[in-house]
């Protein structure tokens, strides 16, 4: 009887060990960190994050300093480095690894800075209809002079602290209920996050796989050059999404499905 028990335990241990060995890193649930664009907050990812979580994904939707629910800490001290540190700190404090880091619009600048600092914690960079700001450039400096003048003038309303939010329809949101929902949550964007140049110590993307998703419905003119750059470069994987700029709100299922395809 004792011999039988030992044999049984040995068989069980072999099965357990084999099962553990069979589990590869790819079998772990994907980890997404979704970073919102200017004037938005983590709230804008609600529909996409619900889809990703329903399919087993681990999802973080941080709100950058001075935005959304953090509008109460808005100050002139918030700059691009602050926003980059927001995401670096989240990833480090949550001890995240193999992160699929997604940046929408302005946040393309943010995730480029994050990749420059902690590439070892990331698996891919996904730029969703995003700015591709190079080392030494800023989100402000790459704008046409006429746009810079408009931004400067609009920023004067609160002493240069913020750039007031554009209305939801500019971002391709057309459903009246969605427009109301978005407009009630948009906040002024800290001016210095647009004006401070991005400083990179490594090549753009820091040798991580880079993916660009172009939202093709009434694409914002400011985004077109970056989508074209990604489409025509061997350094990028390029995809198109038939949606307006705020695809996470107007086409959450399509957006989530595309993100899941990158696992």
- Residues marked active site are found at 105
Q: 100: closest CA among 117, 122, 131, 120?
A: 122
Residue where the block lists tokens 């003038």: 153
Q: How far from chain centre, in Å, is Cα 91?
A: 13
Pull the structure tokens for residue 170.
């500019």
DSSP 107-165: HHHHHHHHHHH-GGGEEEEEEES---PPTT--TTTTS-HHHHHHHHHHHGGGTTSEEPP
* DSSP-derived secondary structure letter, 8: H
Residues linked to residue 60 through DSSP beta bridges, in sequence order: 33
């Amino acid at each position: 009887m004792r011999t039988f028990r030992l044999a049984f335990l040995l068989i069980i241990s072999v099965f357990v060990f084999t099962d553990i060995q069979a589990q590869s890193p790819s079998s772990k649930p994907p980890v997404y960190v979704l970073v919102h664009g200017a004037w938005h907050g983590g709230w804008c990812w609600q529909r996409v994050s619900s889809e990703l979580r329903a399919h087993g994904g681990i999802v973080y939707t941080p709100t950058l300093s001075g935005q959304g629910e953090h509008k109460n800490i808005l100050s002139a001290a918030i700059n691009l480095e602050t926003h980059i540190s927001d995401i670096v700190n989240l990833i480090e404090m949550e001890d995240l690894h193999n992160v699929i880091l997604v940046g929408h619009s302005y946040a393309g600048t943010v995730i480029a800075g994050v990749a420059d600092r902690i590439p070892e914690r990331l698996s891919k960079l996904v730029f969703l209809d995003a700015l591709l700001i190079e080392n030494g450039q800023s989100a402000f400096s790459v704008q046409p002079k006429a746009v810079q003048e408009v931004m400067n003038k609009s920023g004067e309303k609160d002493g240069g602290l913020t750039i007031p939010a554009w209305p939801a329809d500019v971002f391709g949101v057309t459903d009246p209920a969605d427009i109301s929902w978005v407009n009630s949550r948009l906040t002024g964007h800290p001016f210095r996050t647009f004006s401070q140049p991005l400083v990179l110590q490594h090549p753009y993307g820091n040798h991580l796989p880079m993916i660009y998703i172009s939202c093709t419905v009434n694409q914002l003119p400011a985004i077109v050059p970056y989508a074209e750059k990604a489409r025509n470069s061997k350094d990028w994987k390029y995809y198109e999404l038939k949606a307006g700029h705020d695809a996470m709100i107007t086409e959450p299922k399509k957006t989530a499905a595309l993100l899941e395809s990158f696992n």
